[in-house]
Amino acid sequence: MVRPVKAVAFIVASLLLNASIVHAAIGDMVLVPAGKFIMGSDKGDVEKMGLEYGNVKPLYLDEHPLHTVELPDFYIDAYEVTYQQYAEYVKATGATPPIQWVENGYLLSLRQADMDHLPVEVLRKLATKAFHLDLDTRGMDKAPLVVAINERLAYMDRLPVNYVAWSDADHYCRWAGKHLPSEAEWEKSARGPNGREFPWGDVWQAGMSDSEDEQWDDGIAPVDAYPSDKSEYGVYDLTGNVSEWVADWYQAYPGSDYTSDDFGEKLKVVKGAGWGGNGHYTLHLFERAAYRGAFPQEGSYADVGFRCAADQPPAAHASLTP
């Protein structure tokens, strides 16, 4: 059940997706070929925009210097890890589900087969209080309630998982036979070999990603809702939807001229802009692929999720991948 406020954006995105001749499926990994790429930047905040936006750290300085990095072949998830994929991990390992699943009702997906046995009064409350379905449930029988809730759960299956701490993301990727991408792997996946500012090019374009003015009832959008937010390697949602944990500690780049009390083994790097649900930045400056966020690894946030990477072809992980 799709419930975006900005329905036009979803319709356009869906048409583009259906018209695409070749596109990755949710759960696919894509190859990022070996070679050099441009990482970081030499930009300076000459217009003092950081002060204007109330930024907690100077703009650009932790991206210094612009430098070339060479990486071997690697594979990366075409999309962010979804609710459904994470639910498979929870069921297989007994891991604690994200706390948000209690509030939004998705916890029921872990025991969906039991829904037929729930009293109709419970289903009515779930439909209105947890799933916020736009229905008058007072006179509804069990069968249509189950159908409506299942439709909502099927929609939520495709949302990027959020409220996941760094360690939980790391455990998920290891369980799946993969690993969290390094900061360099993530940035190459977004920028391509020539150092693009955004996955699609060097010029910001409104409506290309779930960020800033895009509005969805859940904040986050289904991971396949923005075929336009795609890098030249075929990796999606690197600019918007949720920011993403990567493996690295927040450290200065080699040769950097910038120092920070936050550098060291204190914070984990977060890449990519989120939709802004937890007050995180969604301005164009922070949606650049070179931008570096950093958060405590034990924290979990409304607009931070993750994806996984791997050194071997995805077929090698097929038996473990949800």
Distance CA 241, CA 220 (A): 5
Sign of the torsion formed by the C-alpha atoms of 250, 299, 81 and 159: negative
Q: Which pLDDT does position 321 carry in this prediction? A: 40
> Does the pLDDT value for residue 185 go beyond 80?
yes
Whole-number average pLDDT of the chain:
86
Distance CA 71, CA 31 (A): 12
Asked if CATH classification 3.90.1580.10 holds for the domain at 27-82+161-317, the reply, yes or no, is yes
DSSP letter at 286 equals: G
Distance CA 172, CA 39 (A): 27
Output the DSSP codes for 228-256: TSB-TTS-B-SSSSSEEEEEEE--PPTT-
Distance CA 216, CA 204 (A): 21
Distance CA 292, CA 199 (A): 15
Q: pLDDT tens for residues 30-42? A: 999 999 999 999 9
| Alpha carbon separation from 256 to 65, 183, 293 (Å, rounded) | 6, 16, 17
Q: pLDDT tens for residues 209-231? A: 887 666 788 889 999 999 999 99
Length of the chain: 322
Q: Which pLDDT does position 286 carry in this prediction? A: 79
Q: Which pLDDT does position 59 carry in this prediction? A: 85
Q: Which of 17-21, 75-79, 209-213 is the least confident region?
A: 17-21
Q: Nearest CA to 230 among 72, 79, 56, 109? A: 79
Q: Nearest CA to 300 among 101, 156, 126, 158? A: 101
Q: Domain limits of the chain?
A: 27-82+161-317, 84-156
* Burial of 98 (C-beta count, 10 Å sphere; 0-12/13-18/19+): buried
Q: Nearest CA to 36 among 182, 180, 184? A: 184
> Identity (one letter) of the amino acid at 115?
M
Neighbours of 49 (CB within 10 A): 13
Under the banding of pLDDT at 50, 70 and 90, the label for residue 139 is confident
Q: Nearest CA to 10 among 161, 156, 190, 228? A: 228
Tokens 């390992």 correspond to what residue? 93
71 phi/psi in degrees, rounded to 5: -125, 150
Tell whether omega for the bond before 222 is within 30 degrees of 0, i.e. cis: no
* pTM for the whole structure: 0.87
Tokens 């996941």 correspond to what residue? 164
Q: Which pLDDT does position 283 carry in this prediction? A: 65
Rounded to a whole number of angstroms, the CA Rg of the chain reads: 20
